[in-house]
A and B are shown apart, each in its own frame.
Chain A
Amino acid sequence: MSLLALLGVLSSTIFSGTSLLYATLGEVVTERSGTVNLGLEGVLLISAATGYGVTVSTGNPFLGVLAAMLAGGLSNLVFGYLVITRKANQLASGLAVLFFGYGLSALIGKPFVGKLINSLPRYMIPGPGELPLRYTSLFKFDFLIYLVIPMTFFIWWLLYRTRWGLGLRAVGENAETAYASGRNPGMIKFQALFVGGLLAGLGAAHLSIAFTMNWAEYMTGGRGFIAIALVIFSKWHPIRAIAGVLVFSGAVAFQLLLQVSGVNVSPFLLDMIPFILTLTVLLIWGGTRKHSAPATLGRVYQGTE
């Protein structure tokens, strides 16, 4: 194994993990408020298509990122309308949003298939001096990558160190009590969904504008569902989500390293590992009764109107 190959696994993990981490953070925020959005995949698709489309038409990738965030936030509000305002079943509403995302993203993205974009500019990490381009290009990151770890800590701070976060988690644990103590559970859930949508939008923007630099139908390839699994893996905690994402993206990068080194291990076998791992930790925690899931996760808040 050359140094380049090993650094490469690291770089690939960072590049492909970024979008996943944003999406996972978004889902952590919404699930902390007691809402599970199974349609995250659909939200990601809508954001990725919108971000890509805006980047193509304006030529400005930063506007694309903004548009993707907005699209993610709005899509989550559609979901919120169903599960909060109309008190619909969360699982069914999530799946409805999934199909909504399949359809809407195909519609939004169609004019931009195969179009060239200005991808997000990349900046070299400070430190290494004169190296061949193959090396330096490993660590030239766009701002969304630089932002992702600070964002994780920011979300942690938001959830655990602010009144807003306290209220949000209180609603997730017990909406009735939160209501009794003067909070508005519906409004807080909406806010959590919107913030979660913005984060999902950031992830989707990174995927289409910075990473693949194209748009294709169903391009998220199940990343929304992976993010939902990672939320469980990280026990609904933003900082631990970093570990989950590293395991997942690292496995993919490592699998490709094996493949190009001529080692013949089925990629499908390696792709399964993160899910089996998540299942295992879930069983272990289940056994030790150390649940960290918000108590009312998935339950419809019937309201006290």
Chain B
Amino acid sequence: MSQRIESLPVKSILHHKFFQHAVRYGLTILLALLLFAGILLITGNKPIPSYRDLFSATFGSAYGFSEVIVAMIPILLTALAVALPSRIGMINVGGEGQLYLGAIFATFAALAFKDLPGWLVLPIMGLLGILGGALWAFLPAFFRSIGLVNETITTLLMNMIAPKIAGLLVFGYWHSPRETNMTPNFVDAARLPTFFGTRIHLGIVFGLVLLVLFWFVMKKTRWGLEMRSIGGNVQAARRNGIPIAPYMIIVFCISGGIAGLAGMAQVSGFYGLLIPNFSPGYGYMGFLISWLAGGDPLGILLMAFVVSIILTGGNMLQITIGLPYAVINLLLAFTLFVVLAKPVLPKLLKRKTA
């Protein structure tokens, strides 16, 4: 356990940090909304009623709000899968591929063990999902640890292979003439339980628990300390006897496992089946969220929430003002641009790690 003494009471730090976060994200979003209002004006729509639609679709009803939470689940997990290895200076762009492998492995279990009860098949699916993601992360981590090739490039390439494996399996083995591009629906036992009559499923618990665990490990354990020292200065860490290569491989595999769990949660909790290209870029969104939040757990939670509002609210804009759903990606992009360009009060909000 770390013996580090915090200079301020935990509670007040939380408050302070929370306030900082709130200001930073608030201003960011305001600017992004202003930019997107320009787009709305150009397309002949009134921004204010459009935004009212967007927010009423997300905050206006219990159902709408529940959809925001549902949308948060995969990106929360994939963001964690990026944040964790970033602490030891590794860049995981491969969340997308690891997500697919997790989904594929979990689907295998769901289709193979149709007759098992839920308390048995769901843990199997979860474990296989984690295994799938971890396997997909192992190769890049291994090659990096022996100094062969940078993990950024390998994970990116492996992202492109993963959906094709899904396609191969779905069209080769897992689909019936009644399905187009998907497996049959999973049996109920292979579906994660949902809550409150909404589509919120157990995946949100995975996300939140792992988020807390992540915070705990980084702040309160020797592992966290060692990881931060690797991330800070590899040479110094090596001199201090920290085993670099095992850390790289294990941490990367764990993060792959988390992304794989996200894939399992999507197919089991959300879709209830596997579609070969089901992800609209959850892995990449996770990368951005983790990056925006500077790898900070609370920031990840907030940023994932914001992104989910955008993704969920966009659907309503399509219905009410006929804006193509894909256009909502612009609002997402503007949010990112604003953060990336760091325009607002740079002194006050400068990230510590920058």
State yes or no: do A and B touch (Cβ within 8 Å). yes
Task: Report chain A residues within 8 Å CB of B158.
Answer: 275, 279
**Does the CB pair B327–A226 fall under 8 Å?**
no
Task: Report chain B residues within 8 Å CB of A20.
Answer: none
Q: Verify if A99 is at the interface (C-beta below 8 Å from B).
A: yes
Q: Verify if B161 is at the interface (C-beta below 8 Å from A).
A: yes
Interface pick from B12-20, B105-113, B165-173: B165-173
Task: Please report the C-alpha to C-alpha distance between residue A25 and residue B296 in the assembled complex, in whole angstroms.
Answer: 38
**Does the CB pair A99–B329 fall under 8 Å?**
yes
Q: Verify if B336 is at the interface (C-beta below 8 Å from A).
A: yes
Task: Please report the C-alpha to C-alpha distance between residue A283 and residue B326 in the assembled complex, in whole angstroms.
Answer: 37
Interface pick from B50-58, B145-153, B230-238: B145-153
Task: Please report the C-alpha to C-alpha distance between residue A232 and residue B165 in the assembled complex, in whole angstroms.
Answer: 22
Task: Please report the C-alpha to C-alpha distance between residue A228 and residue B287 in the assembled complex, in whole angstroms.
Answer: 18
Task: Report chain B residues within 8 Å CB of A282.
Answer: 149, 153-154, 157
Task: Report chain A residues within 8 Å CB of B326.
Answer: 102-103, 105-106, 217-218
* Number of A residues, CB within 8 Å of B: 46
Interface residues in A228-242 (C-beta closer than 8 Å to B) = 228-229, 232
Determine how close the nearest CB of chain A comes to the CB of B308; give it in whole angstroms: 14
Task: Report chain A residues within 8 Å CB of B168.
Answer: 266, 268-269, 272
Q: Verify if B88 is at the interface (C-beta below 8 Å from A).
A: no
Determine how close the nearest CB of chain A comes to the CB of B25; give it in whole angstroms: 16
Partner of B165, one of A93, A95, A98, A268: A268
Interface pick from A54-62, A81-89, A122-130, A160-168: A81-89
**Does the CB pair B330–A283 fall under 8 Å?**
no
Task: Report chain A residues within 8 Å CB of B149.
Answer: 282-283, 286
Most chain-A CB neighbours within 10 Å: which of B143, B331, B333, B336?
A: B333
Determine how close the nearest CB of chain B comes to the CB of A55; give it in whole angstroms: 20
**Does the CB pair A229–B160 fall under 8 Å?**
yes
Residue-by-residue, is A259-273 near B (CB-CB < 8 Å gives 1, otherwise 0)? Answer: 000000011110110
| CB closest residue in chain B, given A102 | B329
Determine how close the nearest CB of chain A comes to the CB of B255; give it in whole angstroms: 16
* Number of B residues, CB within 8 Å of A: 46
Task: Please report the C-alpha to C-alpha distance between residue A96 and residue B91 in the assembled complex, in whole angstroms.
Answer: 17
**Does the CB pair B157–A96 fall under 8 Å?**
no
Interface residues in B38-56 (C-beta closer than 8 Å to A) = 39, 43
Interface pick from B117-125, B199-207, B337-345: B337-345
Q: Verify if A104 is at the interface (C-beta below 8 Å from B).
A: yes
Residue-by-residue, is A277-294 near B (CB-CB < 8 Å gives 1, otherwise 0)? Answer: 011001100110000000
Task: Please report the C-alpha to C-alpha distance between residue A282 and residue B158 in the assembled complex, in whole angstroms.
Answer: 12
User: Contacts A91-B93, A106-B326, A286-B149 known; A96 to B156 CB distance under 8 Å?
Assistant: no
Partner of A275, one of B160, B171, B276: B160
Task: Please report the C-alpha to C-alpha distance between residue A82 and residue B341 in the assembled complex, in whole angstroms.
Answer: 6
Determine how close the nearest CB of chain B comes to the CB of A288; give it in whole angstroms: 10
28 contacts between A and B (CB under 8 A): A78-B337, A82-B341, A86-B342, A89-B291, A91-B152, A91-B287, A92-B288, A97-B333, A99-B330, A103-B327, A103-B330, A106-B326, A107-B330, A110-B324, A218-B326, A229-B157, A266-B167, A266-B168, A268-B165, A268-B172, A269-B164, A271-B164, A272-B164, A272-B168, A275-B158, A275-B160, A275-B161, A282-B153
Interface residues of B, Cβ cutoff 8 Å to A: 39, 43, 91, 93, 143, 148-149, 152-154, 156-161, 164-165, 167-168, 171-172, 276, 281, 284, 287-288, 291-292, 323-334, 336-337, 340-342
Instruction: Give 16 new A-B contacts, CB below 8 A, not counting A82-B340, A268-B168, A271-B164.
Output: A82-B337, A91-B91, A92-B336, A93-B340, A96-B340, A98-B281, A100-B330, A103-B326, A103-B331, A107-B323, A225-B159, A229-B156, A275-B157, A275-B158, A278-B157, A283-B143
Interface residues of A, Cβ cutoff 8 Å to B: 38, 78, 81-82, 86, 88-89, 91-93, 95-100, 102-107, 110, 217-218, 222, 225-226, 228-229, 232, 266-269, 271-272, 275-276, 278-279, 282-283, 286-287, 298
Which 10 A-B residue pairs are closest in the complex by CB-CB distance?
A103-B330, A103-B329, A106-B326, A100-B333, A96-B336, A88-B340, A286-B149, A268-B167, A268-B168, A102-B329
